Every structure is written in structure tokens, then in C-alpha cells.
Structure 1
Amino acid sequence: MGFGRLLTAMVTAFDANQKLDLARQTKVIEHLIQTGTESLVVAGTTGESPTLSKEEKIELFKHSVAVAKGRVKVIAGTGSNNTAESVVLTKQAEEAGVDGIMLVNPYYNRPSQEGLFQHVKTIAESTSLPIMLYNIPGRSAVNMTAETVSRLATIPNIKMMKEASGDLGQITEIIRNTPDDFIVYSGDDNLTLPILSIGGHGIVSVSSHVIGSEMKEMITLFLEGKVDEASHLHQTLYPKCKALFSAPSPVPVKRVLSHIGIETGPVRLPMVSLTEEEEKNVLQAFL
């Protein structure tokens, strides 16, 4: 079994005191499974990874594996801008029983392409788990080029990529110059359909927290050749995806989850709650 077409970059649930709330996390996981998610990405950006301690991340990995019970795959976000620390966390995630690892580009230190290559190669060699690359230059301040991805794709356990550059030309080059079994996922909800159309496999989504069933339907329609119907659904979902990114993520999606009865608690600083005006605009898209 692969990792599927619809993956969710899962939010982290906190209690009123901003401590991990595993009971709430269980409800999030069950909701995601029921609405079509096939793999959970744990402790990624949407999970507020910069404000999670390593101990909290490991606790989340173990809990997600225990709750999933093999019904969906669990991918652990273990990437950072410290290669040695990422190696340690990756080994601990593997011991926790996760099914795969996601490695974001090292942020802030802005390595060269050779530095990116060596960083990922070093971590990949420390584990037997499949690796998902995560290119998000808007947050990491460095772009992993198609050439670097092509080099990394020759490493046996580097199997897939979440591509959030928004550059369809670059994504085309990645798909064109990597092996047929190397999978590229959209990292932008509103580009799910365009990326499918150029050979992408699916989406690592934030919006799937609240429109997972519809996103799954859109992907299925496209794969069945019903392109016009998929396009129409894409147009319908676009304002909702846009609303969920109208303020720093995951602030809007946590608010909408609460609106539909799934409480995930507050965000941690430096994230802050929506203003009244922002909240009104976000919820308007879901009325």
C-alpha cells in the first residue's frame, strides 16, 4: 500500500493551556480518516512544528500511529535546519512506528544546492523509511531545484515530494526528470488539479481538514477522465481553500474546525487568533 492521493498536513490539538491534548488529537485523526484522508503528516508546518518540543513531536508520532492502527499511513515531519538533530529525530520517529518521513528544506541558513543534497542524503541514509522531500521556498527561503530533486531521487528510499513552490514549470521538470515511481504531491491546495494535470499524484492538504470528501471526489473525477466535472468542483472549492490561507496557517483552519464542532484549541505564539474581521471573512466561505 502506498501513501494515497489525499494526505493531510495535520493540525496539532492543544488544550486551553496550550499543552498537547491527545484526546482532541484522536478526534481530529478519526475525522480525517472518515473524510477521505489516506495518510497523516504529523508535526509539519500545519502542526505548528516550530513551537513543538522534540518530546512533544515524538509523543505525537506515537499517538498518531496508535490511533491510526494501520487504517492510514503516518508520515513524521522530522526535517529542520540542523542535519544532526534531524537524524536523531528521524531515528526516534522510526522507533515510534511511523511509515515515512518528511524533510522540509533547511530554513534560515539558506544552504547551497549541494548543501541541500548532502543534508537530505545524510538523513535518508540514517533510516530505512521512505522519505518525502518538502520544497516550500516561501517559508524556507531556499528553493530545491529540479536538478537537485533529480539527484536525490536516485537515493533508494527517497520516494516522493511535496512541492509547494507554486512553479508549474519547475514541477513539470521534476516529474519529467525523476523515475516513474517517484511521486510528486502538490503542496498548495489550490493547485491540486493543475498539478494532477501535469502528472502529479495528489495533494498534501490543509483544506482537507474541512473539505476532505470534496477534495477526494475532485481527484477521483480527474482520474476517471471526468475533467470538466473535476474542474467545476475545483472552481467551487477554490474560495474555501483561499479563505483557509487568508491569515497565517494553521490559524484559519483551526477556527473552521471549531466552527464545525472539532475543537483543536488555540495556536501557540508567535501565531495569534484571527481578528473579528478575519474570522468573519473566513467563516463566510463556509456558510
Structure 2
Amino acid sequence: MFTGSIVALVTPMDEKGDVDQIGLKKLVDYHVTHGTSAIVAVGTTGEMSGLTHKEHIDVVMRVLDISDGRIPIIAGTGANSTSEAILLTRCFNNTKVVGCLSVTPYYNKPNQEGLFQHFKAIAENSDLPQVLYNVPARTGCDILPDTIARLSEIKNIIGIKEATGDLNRVNQIRYLVNDDFILLSGDDVSALDFMQLGGQGVVSVTANVAAQKMRRICALAADGNFADARYINNKLMFLHKALFIDTNPMPVKWACKFLGLIMHDTVRLPLTSLSFSKRKIVEQALIRASL
């Protein structure tokens, strides 16, 4: 459940910006049908920073209810305040959520000891498996391999989503942690290379619109068949890049709407809908990917 193609699920919204409950069901069913390994509900792509606490919790619980045990659900529970991250994590302690994805604190830029103490405190307040999430391009904060190694010794910190796009990190982290510590890519462009170097999967934005293809890439990589995996991945490469032509999740939400997976591409301010010129680029990427 913590390996393979894990989708960073978008949170569908109606024209007024309210969470689209029907759209959520359609998305969950789509990923069950196409073999996605697990769903991350309300992560970066799910607009965690744009939802209220109540909405955040409600969306995770709604996704959990819809899934009905058909696909594992991982809750996004990160925050820049340690107490807030603990509060969110505790909300899922006695649910069927299989684990939590916790992003490094953003804006306040803690040092490495602060990061260690932050994640240690979260882990001590939950029995749920905790997956660290490192995306310094968005948070302004980079958790370094030595700190990851220290945290990996805490029993319920089981892995990391590494979204730096720096492939050197795979070997650096793997050298310092036990073999059972899970390494997940958070960057679709380099995810296959990440897996070839020893990663076990990807938390994917592209999987929102190419679930079956991303599942197949990860399955082939797990079997060591990187030639066939790369053939499929090369056909998705333009799409991997197009989905970040503007701030995530603006492009992928528009792509989901274009493919009929959701009704609207609504995002909440300060994000805005994708511009017309960029929509054409995403559309061409979907065509090139045979989607």
C-alpha cells in the first residue's frame, strides 16, 4: 500500500468552490478501476492549504468512506505548526486510514534539529505509519539525508516522499537507512529513474489522468523491466512536464475536467484557473500521451 503508483488526488470543487462530493466518488472509483496502489487525500495536489480544517478532515473521511476498503487511503496531515500537524494526525488515529503523509514545515524554515523534533513529536502522537514529505521548492525547507536517517529509527516513521528531483538523494538516503525504509519519488519527471536507483514507487500527479499507465510503469519497474517501463514513460514525459506548466494543481485539475473526470477545474484563491494558452499545451500533452 506504500509502494507503486500512489495518486496525489485532486480535490474536485463546484463552480462556487465547494467540495464536489459526487466528483470525489467518480475519482476514487476511477483509481480503483485502474489499479492505483493507494490514494493520498488532501496533500499538496489536494489543495490542503486552501481547505479549512473541517473541510480537510471531511474530504479525507469522505474518500475513506467511498473507497470502502477497495483501495488504501493515506491522509495528508502536514502543517508548518507542529501542534497543528499533531491535531490533524490525531483526527485519523482511530479510522481506517492506513497512514499519514506529513510535509516539512513551510515558511518558518526550521533547522535540521527542528525538523527532527517536529516529526518525532508527530510520530509520538500516533500509531499510524508516517511518511515524511520533502518538497523544498514549495516549502523553503529541505530535510537532509542525515536527518531522515535519524527519523527512520522511530518505529512508525516508515518512509519518505522525496520531491527534490535530485536523484543523488536516492543513494544518499538508502545508504543511511534500513532496507525496509520506503523511498517514494514525488517528481513524475524523474520517478522512473528514482525507482531504477532503488525507490519503491511514486506519489504521482500524472496518475490523476493516467492512472493505468502509471500503474503499469511502476509494476514493470518493480519487476526490473525498465526497458518496457521507459517506453511507456517516454510517451508520458511531455505530460509529466505540462502538468507543472503552472502552479500545481491548476494544470492537472484542468486536465481532469478536459477528460471528463471532474465537472469543473475550480481552484481556490490565491490559485486561479489555467490560462487559455496553457490549456492548449496540456491538451496537446494529453493527446501525445494517447489519453
CA distance in 1, matches of 2:224, 2:151: 32
2:250 — aligned with what? 251
Provide the secondary structure at the position in 1 that maps to 2:244.
coil
CA distance in 1, matches of 2:27, 2:122: 29
Q: Pairwise mapping of residues 221-232 of structure 1 onto structure 2 (< 5 A)?
A: 221-232=220-231
Q: CA RMSD in A?
A: 1.2
- In 1, are the aligned partners of 2:134 and 2:164 still within 8 Å (CA)? yes
Cα gap change, 1:254 to 1:264, in 2 (>3 Å): farther
CA distance in 1, matches of 2:228, 2:18: 43
Structure 2, unaligned runs of 5 or more: none
Provide the secondary structure at the position in 1 that maps to 2:165.
coil
- In 1, are the aligned partners of 2:4 and 2:219 still within 8 Å (CA)? no
Query: 2:273 matched to 1:273?
Result: yes
4+ runs of 1 displaced by more than 3 Å? none
Deviation, 1:140, is 0.7
Deviation, 1:64, is 1.1
CA distance in 1, matches of 2:216, 2:107: 38
1:125 — aligned with what? 124
CA distance in 2, matches of 1:249, 1:121: 29
- In 2, are the aligned partners of 1:193 and 1:231 still within 8 Å (CA)? yes
Q: Pairwise mapping of residues 1-287 of structure 1 onto structure 2 (< 5 A)?
A: 2-265=1-264, 266-287=266-287
CA distance in 2, matches of 1:240, 1:111: 34
- In 2, are the aligned partners of 1:7 and 1:38 still within 8 Å (CA)? yes
Deviations 1:171-193 (A, max 9, x none): 21112211111100000011111
CA distance in 1, matches of 2:87, 2:54: 12
Provide the secondary structure at the position in 2 that maps to 1:95.
coil
Deviation, 1:264, is 5.0
Deviation, 1:96, is 4.0
Letter in 2 for 1:211: A
Structure 1, unaligned runs of 5 or more: none
Letter in 2 for 1:123: I
Deviation, 1:221, is 2.1
CA distance in 2, matches of 1:228, 1:263: 33
Deviation, 1:24, is 1.0
- In 1, are the aligned partners of 2:200 and 2:222 still within 8 Å (CA)? no
CA distance in 2, matches of 1:134, 1:223: 22
Deviation, 1:232, is 1.8
- In 2, are the aligned partners of 1:218 and 1:230 still within 8 Å (CA)? yes
Deviation, 1:13, is 1.1
Deviations 1:151-177 (A, max 9, x none): 000000000110001111122111221
CA distance in 2, matches of 1:11, 1:224: 29
- In 1, are the aligned partners of 2:74 and 2:101 still within 8 Å (CA)? yes
CA distance in 2, matches of 1:225, 1:41: 25
- In 2, are the aligned partners of 1:25 and 1:264 still within 8 Å (CA)? no
Provide the secondary structure at the position in 1 that maps to 2:177.
coil
Deviation, 1:102, is 0.9
- In 2, are the aligned partners of 1:146 and 1:171 still within 8 Å (CA)? no
| Number of residue pairs matched by the alignment | 286
